[in-house]
Chain A
C-alpha cells in the first residue's frame, strides 16, 4: 500500500526533476571537496552553505505550496513552524557545545550561565540526544499545527480570515519567544554552535554533508507532496479548494483533510527549519516575524503555486535575487520584492512555472487541433481547458 502510494509520485516529469536535484546534490559538494581552491571548478564553502540555505527555503516553499496551492489555505504563519523546527535543532546544537563554551559548563549552555540560571529548564531535557531532538523537530511543529488547525478548521474559518489568524499565531509566538522568562536566550537567539553529531559545523565536510541533506530533504518532501497530491486524497484537496461546501455535501469531512495536509506541511516546514539552523549558525525570535512568513508565500506565488517544482524554483530564484540585491542595493530589496510580487500577481497569476506549463500545453493543444482539422474527431479540449488542467496537476 505504502509503496504503491509512493510509486504514484514518480512519472517522467518528477524523475527529471529528481535527477536534476541529485546532480545538484552531488556536483556542489564535489566541487568544493574535490577541487583545490584555485581550480576553476572549485565551489567556495560559503556558496555551498548559501545553496544549502536556499534548499531549506525550497522545502519550506514546498510545504506552503502543499497547503496553499492544493488546498487553498493561505498560511501567513508558516515561518512559525520553520522557526520551531529551527529552535528544536538549535537547542540540540546548544547542548552539543558542552564544555567547549566560553564558561566551560557542561550542564548549562553559555547564555544560561551568563543569565545566572542555576539549572536546565525541564523543556531542555533530552535535547542532548540527536534522535530526541530530531523527533521534537517533527513533533513540536506537528502539535502546534494540530492544535491550531483543529480549532480553526473545525470552526470553518477559511480564506483571508484563516490567513490573518495564522499570521496572528506567528506574531503571538514572536512576542512569546521575545519574553525573557521563556528561557530561549531572549533576543540574541541560540548561536555559537560547535558540533553536530560530533562533527564540527564549521568544517567543509560537515557543511557539504548538510547541503546534501538539505537537497535530499527537498527530494523527499517533493516525493511525499507529489504522492499526496496525485492520490485521490489530492483530488479531494483540490475539490476542497475549489468548492468547499460542495465537497462537504459529498460526505467528505473537509476539516480532517485540511488538518492532515496542514500538519504534514507544518512538519515539512519544521524539518526545513532544523536543516537551516546549523547552516546559518543562529536561530532567534526574529524568525517568527510575520514578514518572513509572508515573504515565503511570495516565493511560491512567483514560482507558481499548484506546481511543486514552481515552489522550489520560486524559493531559489527569489532568494538568489535577494542575496544579489542586498549586496548591491540593500535599501531597494524590499521595493524589488514587493514590486516583483505585485507584477507577478497582476501579470503572471500562475507564476513562472505555471505560465511556462500553460504555454507548453497551449502549443501541444495547437498541434492537436491541427491534427483534428486533418480529419480526425472534433478535439475534445479547448485551449482554456487544458490550461486549467495543467495548472491543476
Chain B
C-alpha cells in the first residue's frame, strides 16, 4: 500500500503544482458555466446565439469541449431534466459525457435525448466564441497555447478567426505564432500558389517537428515551384531540428553526467587515496536513494507541510548514513585487505550483493517512485529544448557539491592530509599523520557523497535495490577516461561520457552504445589509471 500512497500523493502534488490556478478557477465558475450550457438547449436559434455569446464573455476555457461538440452536432439535452451532455454513439444508445469535465455519465436511449440544432449562423458564432475563448483571451499564456493548437489543426476555416486575432494581438511573440498558424491553415486550404509560397516561407522560422510534418505533406501534395520551395524549406527545418536535437542530447547528457559526477567523485577519491576499487560504491548511491524514500514517507505521514523541504532534511541524512556505512565497511573489511587489490575488489563486490539483498528484504524488489518537491517539478521550453527543472536543479546541485569538495580538498587540513597520504603514504605516516584515520574518513567522505548522489538520482528515476550496479562500470569508465590526474579531468570525463552515451543511444541502441564505449576504453586505456591527485613522472614507477 505504501508505494501506491506515495505515487498518489506525488501525482496530486504534481497536478496541483501544474494546474493550481486554473483548477480553482474552474471550480468557482463551474456552476455559472453549467447553467449557461444547459440554457443552450432552450429557445430559438437567436437565443442559442445569445447564450454562446454569454459563454464567450465568461472567458472560461472549460466551455470549449461543449462548444466544439455543439459545432459537430454532438451536444444533446436530456429530455427528462434538460441537462446538456456531450454524446457519442454507442450502438443503439448514446454514451453521455459531462459537458464541462468530460467525465463519463452513463448511457441513455436515443429517444431520451434531444439534439441541440444549429445552423450556419450559429456555426460562425461558435467559431468566433472559440476564438475569443482562446486566441483572443485576455490571458497571453492561453493565447499562445491556442495559437499552437490552431497551428496543429491546420484548419482552413480558422483563417478568418486568426486574422481577427492577429489584428488584436499586441504581443509580437504570439503574433508570430499566429502568422505561422495562418500559414499552416493557408497551406491546407485551396488558396492560390502565390499565397502558399508565401506561407511556406512563413513556416520556415518555426523549425520544429510540426513544421517539418506540414512541409512534408505540402511537398507531397504539390508540384512545381511550390513543391521545390517546400522541399527546400523542409530540409532547412530539418537542419534546425537536428541542431535542437543535438542540443537536447547534450542537455540530457549533462544531467546524466552530473548524477554520475556525484557517484564518481567518491569512487575516485577512495581509489586515489587508498587504491581501493570499491565495488559496493554503487550501493552507497542506492542507500542514499532509499534514505530519501524513507524520509519522505515519514514526512508524508507525520508532517505533510514539510514535504517541499524534505530534500534539505534528506541530504545531510543521506550523507551521514551512507558515510557511516562506508566507514564501517572500511573498518571491518577493507582495512584488512590493503595491498591486495584483487581481493578487495571481490570482497567489496560481495558486500554490494549483501547490501542489495538486505534492501530487497526490507523494501521489496520493486521499483519505487520518490516524490519530487513542487519547486523541482515542471519544465520550461527554450526554443526546441525541453528543460525539466529537476534536471536543472541536479546539475546545479552537483556542481555546487563539486565546488565544495574541491575547496575541502584544497583548503582544509583534512584535505591536506588526504593529498599527503595519496602522494606518499609512508612519508605521511612518518610525519605524524594518522593514516588509518585518514583512510576511514576518506572512505566515509566518498560514500557520503555517493549517498547524496542517490538523493539526486531519486529525483530523476525510480529507485530499486539494484540501481547502484550500473554505476560501477560507468564510474570506472569515467576514472579511466578522465581521471588522469585531477578533479577537473574527472569533471570533463564525466560530462563527456554522459553526452557520448546519450548520443550513441539513439543511433546504436543502449546496448551497442555500452559496447562501443567499452571498446573505446580498452583501446585508449594506454595511460595507466591513477585516480585523483596522482603523481607524475618517475615517482610513479616506485
Contact = CB atoms under 8 A, between A and B. Distances in A.
Per the CB under 8 Å rule, do A and B touch in the complex? yes
Contact of B522 (A157, A337, A341): A157
B336 A335 contact: no
Contacts, number: 95
A371 interface: no
B535 interface: no
A117 interface: no
A138 B235 CA distance: 52
Interface stretch (A42-50, A105-113, A170-178, A198-206): A170-178
A171 B474 CA distance: 12
Interface in A274-304: 291, 294, 297-298, 301
A151 interface: yes
Interface in B473-522: 473, 476, 480, 509-511, 514-515, 518, 521-522
A331 B353 CA distance: 12
A129 interface: no
A346 B336 contact: yes
B522 A155 contact: yes
B523 A175 contact: no
A93 interface: no
Interface in B326-382: 333, 336-337, 340-343, 345-347, 349-351, 353-354, 357, 361
Nearest to B344: A160
A301 B346 contact: yes
Contacts of B472: 164
Given A156-B526, A338-B351, A164 B346 contact: no
A345 B361 contact: no
Interface in B516-537: 518, 521-523, 525-526, 528-529
Contact of A334 (B346, B354, B476, B522): B354
Contact of B514 (A164, A165, A175, A345): A175
B100 interface: no
A345 B347 contact: yes
Given A172-B511, A176-B515, A346-B336, A297 B346 contact: yes
Interface in A132-172: 148, 151-152, 155-157, 159-161, 163-165, 167-169, 171-172
B528 A331 contact: no
A266 interface: no
| B: interface residue count bin | 35 or more
Contact of A74 (B333, B342, B515): B342
B341 A334 contact: no
A145 to B, nearest CB: 14
B245 to A, nearest CB: 25
Contacts of A148: 522
A337 B350 contact: yes
B277 interface: yes
A164 B343 CA distance: 13
Contact of B525 (A155, A291, A301, A346): A155
Nearest to B511: A175
A301 B340 CA distance: 13
A197 interface: no
A179 B512 CA distance: 10
Contact of A163 (B342, B511, B528): B342
A291 B342 contact: no
Given A159-B341, A160-B342, A172-B518, A342 B528 contact: no
A176 B342 contact: no
Contacts of A159: 341-342
Given A161-B480, A179-B511, A171 B473 contact: yes
B354 A169 contact: no
B511 A164 contact: no
A169 B346 contact: no
Contacts of A152: 522
A341 B346 contact: yes
Contacts of B357: 331, 334-335
Interface in A318-360: 331, 334-335, 337-338, 341-342, 345-346, 349
A294 to B, nearest CB: 6
Contacts of A341: 346-347, 350
Contacts of B345: 74, 76, 160, 163-164
Nearest to A347: B336
A108 B526 CA distance: 46
A164 B473 contact: yes
8 contacts: A160-B342, A161-B480, A163-B345, A168-B514, A171-B514, A172-B515, A175-B511, A298-B350
Interface of B: 277, 333, 336-337, 340-343, 345-347, 349-351, 353-354, 357, 361, 472-473, 476, 480, 509-511, 514-515, 518, 521-523, 525-526, 528-529
Closest 3 CB pairs of A and B: A338-B350, A175-B511, A74-B342
